[in-house]
Amino acid sequence: MLAKRLVTILPDMSIEEILEITKIYSISGLTSEKAPYIFKRPFLSPHHTITPVSLVGGGKNPRPRRN
């Protein structure tokens, strides 16, 4: 529960952070023409039994994990 609240108390993202996160989302195919930039910090809440392979997006065609 504390980790979910941490996102709300962090300062706004810098331009460098916005561009870095947007690059990752773009490569993953998660951006759109309506929202080309990601301004919100990504937050993941994986289950405590998730495997390391699942957490990093493993598989036949590895991709970054999405929300």
- Higher confidence at residue 36 or residue 51? 36
- The residue ranges of every structural domain in the chain are 2-56
User: Closest by alpha carbon to 47, among 34, 62, 20, 65?
Assistant: 65
Q: Summarize pLDDT for 9-37 with one digit per residue, the tens.
A: 888 999 999 999 999 889 888 889 998 99
User: Which pLDDT score is estimated for 7?
Assistant: 74
Q: Is the pLDDT of residue 66 over 80?
A: no
- 0.75 exceeded by pTM: no
User: Which pLDDT score is estimated for 59?
Assistant: 67
- Higher confidence at residue 35 or residue 59? 35
Q: Is the dihedral of CA 7, 8, 9, 12 positive or negative?
A: positive
- List CB contacts of 53: < 8 A, sequence separation 6 or more: 59
